[in-house]
Amino acid sequence: QKEVEQNSGPLSVPEGAIASLNCTYSDRGSQSFFWYRQYSGKSPELIMFIYSNGDKEDGRFTAQLNKASQYVSLLIRDSQPSDSATYLCAVIWISNFGNEKLTFGTGTRLTIIP
């Protein structure tokens, strides 16, 4: 069973600071990595994806991928109260039958303190 591990939190960050969310995965052959945001009572929505080692920036969000160490992280700069949510890490890997499988972590609950 492929695993995706996240610290469940809660992670509390002051407004305006940088929030750092981490995720590790077990399958070295994993290809694609996603960060979903889920507000309480809502369904997950994709905010970032990354394929290649290094950093990928999109507005206040930066995804970082290190395949050698098998971790992916999400940085949120200038944190806002509206960033308070659960952040789900998801990893695509290929099954023995050649199917793409998307496995989610348990999510990290982030609270931005005004």
Partner 1 sequence: ETGVTQTPRHLVMGMTNKKSLKCEQHLGHNAMYWYKQSAKKPLELMFVYSLEERVENNSVPSRFSPECPNSSHLFLHLHTLQPEDSALYLCASSQVSGGYNEQFFGPGTRLTVL
Site string for partner 1, 56-85 (x = CB under 8 A): ------------------------------
Residues with Cβ < 8 Å from 71, sequence gap 6 or more? 22, 23, 24, 25, 65
Contact between 11 and partner 1 per CB under 8 A: no
Identify the burial level of 97 via C-beta atoms within 10 angstroms of its C-beta, where 0-12 means exposed, 13-18 middle and 19 or more buried: exposed
Q: What is the rounded CA–CA span in Å between residue 24 and residue 31?
A: 13
Which residue in the set 7, 26, 70, 103 belongs to the binding site for partner 1 (CB under 8 A)? 103
For position 17 contacting partner 1 by CB under 8 A, the verdict is: no
Q: Pick one of 105, 108, 110, 112: the residue that binds partner 1 (CB under 8 A).
A: 105
Say which residues have a Cβ less than 8 Å from residue 95's Cβ, sequence separation at least 6: 101
Query: Which positions lie near partner 1, rule CB under 8 A?
Result: 4, 8, 31-32, 34, 42-46, 49, 51, 88, 92, 95, 97, 99-107
